[in-house]
Amino acid sequence: MAEAARAKPKPTPETQHFWDGTQVGELRLQRCDACSHVYFPPRPFCPSCASRKVSVFKATGKGKLYSYVINHRPAAPGFTPPYAIAVVELDEGPRMMSNIIDCPQTPEALELDMKLEVAFEKLDDQITLPLFRPAKG
């Protein structure tokens, strides 16, 4: 695993739809038209069957905490340690690495399988990051 500070994501033609989505408050995934496999991160073909007939759709933004590590190292720019680097399993199936906000960054507070919902944090005019917070209700 790279230890470098999290670099700001750079949209590419393959991921532009995703970043366009976060800017307008949508978490966008792709679904294969041939085999119905839902996947992330973005790519122009299905990782399951290699079909290029894939569609972009808006995910619910809901998921659960699949795993995490708590980083105690000196902060990456914009982060104050300790903070959790989490893997969120979306309700649609794909897993996404993110951060958990509005929650103490402790093992007591971060329960595996806890329900999460997406929250969007605007970094600049190009990039809005999808973060996750404990789901309400």
Partners of 115 in beta bridges: 64
Output the CA angle 47-51-57, nearest 5 degrees.
75
- Binding characters for Zn ion, 50-89, by CB under 5 A (x = yes): -x--------------------------------------
In the bound complex, what is the minimum distance in angstroms from residue 88's beta carbon to Zn ion?
23
Under the binding rule (CB under 5 A), the answer on residue 12 touching Zn ion is no
Part in contact with Zn ion (CB under 5 A); list of ranges 6-14, 34-42, 78-86, 118-126: 34-42
**Member of 5, 24, 49, 69 binding Zn ion (CB under 5 A):** 49
> Whose CA is closest to 117, among 137, 101, 132, 96?
132
Output the CA angle 8-9-14, nearest 5 degrees.
170
Q: Which residue bears the tokens 């970043």?
A: 19
Q: 126: helix, coil or strand?
A: coil
How many residues lie near Zn ion (CB under 5 A)? Answer: 8
Query: Residue 5 and residue 9: Cα distance in Å, rounded?
Result: 12
In the bound complex, what is the minimum distance in angstroms from residue 40's beta carbon to Zn ion?
14
| CB-CB contact of 99 with 105 (8 Å) | no
**Member of 17, 37, 62, 115 binding Zn ion (CB under 5 A):** 37
Report 14-33 residues binding Zn ion (CB under 5 A).
32
Residues that bind Zn ion (CB under 5 A): 32, 34-35, 37, 46, 48-49, 51
